[in-house]
Amino acid sequence: MYLHSAPVQGRSRSTRRAVLAGAGGAGIVAAACSQATAPEKVSTFKGPVEVTYMDWFKDRITYWEDQFSVINQTQPQVKFQLSIVPMREYLDKIKVGLAGDSAPDAFFLHHSQFLDLATIGGLQPLTPARIPFKPLEQEWTGFKEQHFHWENKPYWAALGLMVPALFINLDLWESAGMGERDIPATWDQLHQVAKKLSRRGADGRLSPAGLVAEAGGVAFWMDVMRYQKGLWRFSKDGKRSLQNHPENVRSLEYILRMWNDNIWPEKRELAAFTRREAVIAYSFTWYVNNVRLNAPDLRFRLVPMPTITGQDLPARHLRVYDPASPVISSTTKGDRLDAAWMLVKQIITDEDANAELVRQHTTAPNWTRLQNHPALKDDQGVQVVTKITPYTVLPGWLNLKVEGMNASITDVFNKDASPKETLDRVTEQETIALNRNVNVVRERQYAHAAQFKE
């Protein structure tokens, strides 16, 4: 566990510099605002206040330090203690802390953890006294629809909308004679383009390969194709899995044929893209930051996932609310609670703080007014994601037993399992999990649900 225990003070937001890099890797350094006079220190606390804060992602450390510093300008009595805990331990550590009154005062929420924590009373709800609701209800995707609520109370307000996408290495793409007209709009086109891009070297290996994705990612393509075919994952009452629909079996068989074709690098791992061993990569858009950090000179761009028809409707694929937002543990009290709310309000309501985290994760801003924010309006990846999100489906908030069920589909690619038998098994297990655990299915709130089949 990484622990940053020193007071974070003295860094003025008016003087810090933020690297605003587009998805193509060509960063522009945005000079901060003009040197403004630091705000007068008007602490509302009588003595020192130490707030513990937890995240799982080391790449956000500098971001949090900047945000803590903003609060310290007017609240010098507040000291933030930041700890970084690996994702595999994150939820368990929070739950154990809640049970023993030792949970972090506040922490960054992952969307998959919301239901588990809300159902055990582990989170402080947002209230109009702490966070102004009117802008959230008017300008935030999903807030009015209660996407961040449990039992009619909101607990968070997601900062971004994340989707899957294709990443193209522009140098390899252009050297193969490919241009804008060759960007695949359909799955058949993706397969053919990947074949065309694959080049076998003197040692017999592909150098480069046309396409790279890990088995878990490829298994997820069935989810993508499901919504593109206008099919639901769950029954209308949310009690029955529809995974083994014949069209899903056909989709999985189609994907398996691609998986067995000679278009992949020897090691089917995303790092092959940053090593320039594959021309096209598949991932969710969080991978942009990984590419920026590990291959800063790699020229790349994002393009939307292909669809069955090449069109937006009936849907493109699912979406997730990521990055989520900071939340406060139900065990936080007194001055620590007041100081923690200052941080949550800072992240949610400050346009610059909000936009910077959205930019780092290359998502569509959930706060719609930020679509033309200076940090986002020229970011190629953010603009691609923003354009397609109206055609994306929120499955809902699923218990982790249901959320992880799709992992079984990787058996088709890793263990040569039968697509039909695998989906029959997953359907049975998922139906049991739907009925044994709390789940909130929201698929049918999709804006174009009328295009789907029941």
Direct distance between the N- and C-terminal alpha carbons of the chain, in angstroms, rounded to an integer: 47
Residue 404 is predicted with a pLDDT of: 76
**164-318+393-451: same fold as 2-160+323-378?**
yes
346 Cβ contact partners less than 8 Å away, ≥ 6 residues apart: 67, 70, 71, 353
Please check the confidence at residue 26 and state whether its pLDDT lies above 50. Answer: no
Rounded to an integer, the average pLDDT of 141-164 is 95
**Of 161, 424, 156, the residue nearest 318 (C-alpha):** 161
Residue 40 is predicted with a pLDDT of: 57
Rounded to an integer, the average pLDDT of 138-142 is 94
Choose the CATH number for 2-160+323-378 among 3.40.50.10440, 3.20.20.70, 3.40.190.10, 3.40.50.720. Answer: 3.40.190.10
Rounded to an integer, the average pLDDT of 348-367 is 95
Choose the CATH number for 164-318+393-451 among 3.40.309.10, 3.40.190.10, 3.30.1120.80, 3.40.950.10. Answer: 3.40.190.10
Give the pLDDT band (50/70/90) at residue 75: very high
Mapping DSSP to helix (H, G, I), strand (E, B) and coil, where does residue 266 land?
coil
More reliable by pLDDT, 16 or 70: 70
Give the pLDDT band (50/70/90) at residue 12: very low
Mapping DSSP to helix (H, G, I), strand (E, B) and coil, where does residue 165 land?
strand
Rounded to an integer, the average pLDDT of 419-446 is 94
Return the domain boundaries, the chain. Answer: 2-160+323-378, 164-318+393-451
Rounded to an integer, the average pLDDT of 285-295 is 93
Residue 42 is predicted with a pLDDT of: 65
Percent of the chain with pLDDT over 70: 91
Please check the confidence at residue 412 and state whether its pLDDT lies above 60. Answer: yes
Rounded to an integer, the average pLDDT of 328-353 is 97
Residue 398 is predicted with a pLDDT of: 87
Tokens 């021309």 belong to 279
DSSP per-residue codes, 301-370: EEEPPPBSSSSS-S--EE-EE-S--EEEBTT--HHHHHHHHHHHHHHHH-HHHHHHHHHHHT-EESBGGG
pTM score of the predicted model: 0.88
Residue 4 is predicted with a pLDDT of: 46
- Per-residue pLDDT tens for 223-252? 999 999 999 999 999 999 999 999 999 999
DSSP per-residue codes, 59-74: GGHHHHHHHHHHHHHH
